[in-house]
Chain A
Amino acid sequence: MSVPMTLLGLLEREPSHGYDLKRDYDTFFSRGKPLPFGQVYATLGRLARDGKIVVGEVEPGVGPERKRYVITERGATEVESWLTEPVEAEPNLQTVLFTKVVLALMLGRPAEEYLDVQRATHLRRMQELTEIKRSGNLVDTMLADHGLFHLEADLHWIDTTVARLDALRTMVAQR
């Protein structure tokens, strides 16, 4: 998650105090990992330094934080290009799991057992995410869905790899 870009995006919606930014970030994006205040202000400081936001006058009132942050044209342009640019479709061709499978075969170890353990680990996590979906709100559900679909894709890869292990073993042995 890109914290600077997210805070910038929240500021494009409306000028806000650091406290409000943290609250909105935690509500929608942090999911159990609240953004520390220190990180909020450090990030805002960097955004201001780079000319993407400006810091308003200190407002009169009680409480520690009365500064309002406002996005600049430059900041808004950056948000726009970040939103419109597709996220890289990571090919993940050299995953740790792939390396483990090939090494296991090279070393004559039980690759299928390792993959079974990985499958079980993935399924445990999928059970947890499903439970979050069943008991959570819509934001929880959508985030859990994202994790579930990715884990499911990994599982399809694991199943296909198990089906190809004999062929892969032969290929690895020939080299």
Chain B
Amino acid sequence: MRLSMPRRSLLTLVAIGLVTVLAGAQTWSAFHATSASDDNSFAAGTVVLTDNDGGTALLSLPGAIPGDSDNACVKVSYAGSLPSELRLHGTTTGDGLDPYLNLVLTRGTFPGAPPASNSCVGFSADATDYLGSGAGVIYSGTLQAFPDDYGAGHIDPRPASPETWTSGESHVYKLQITLQNDLDARSKTATQTFTWEARNT
């Protein structure tokens, strides 16, 4: 058959058209249907603990002599959505003074806003004698014996009856450190980090 140019072109177009249609049909060759469960969500609660130390050291005993002491008070506030347990711990560095430093931690309150510079003016200890060491005292021992990590941490206020911290709760902790009267304490240093750590219960 001899075709004129216009007919050839037309046939070519038709052929292209068919191929296109077939390709389109292939795309739709599978039927599908869906079923759904929408708007699922799951969110974590929060554990938020802050203090008023302004990021500066609370205690300092430079060139101390036996009996020298220093104290400071820090207010710790909880704002998490999950109830938490709080433990106190901290690591020690230096060259061996920590066995000769006595640490007393007392929990209490301020009647109003805490005084500046982590002063303990106005501090009032909790009435409860948690350990038999005096009203509000939650730790009394050497700095060396103070626990280093959360696992061993001192449970606030005492292991037998942990406080459940909830949002808006705060307590003031008085830290007092005293150098023992021991000749072996000479020419030694210690640097301590105190950590209040809350973990949801």
- The finding on whether chains A and B are genuine partners in a shared complex, rather than unrelated, reads no
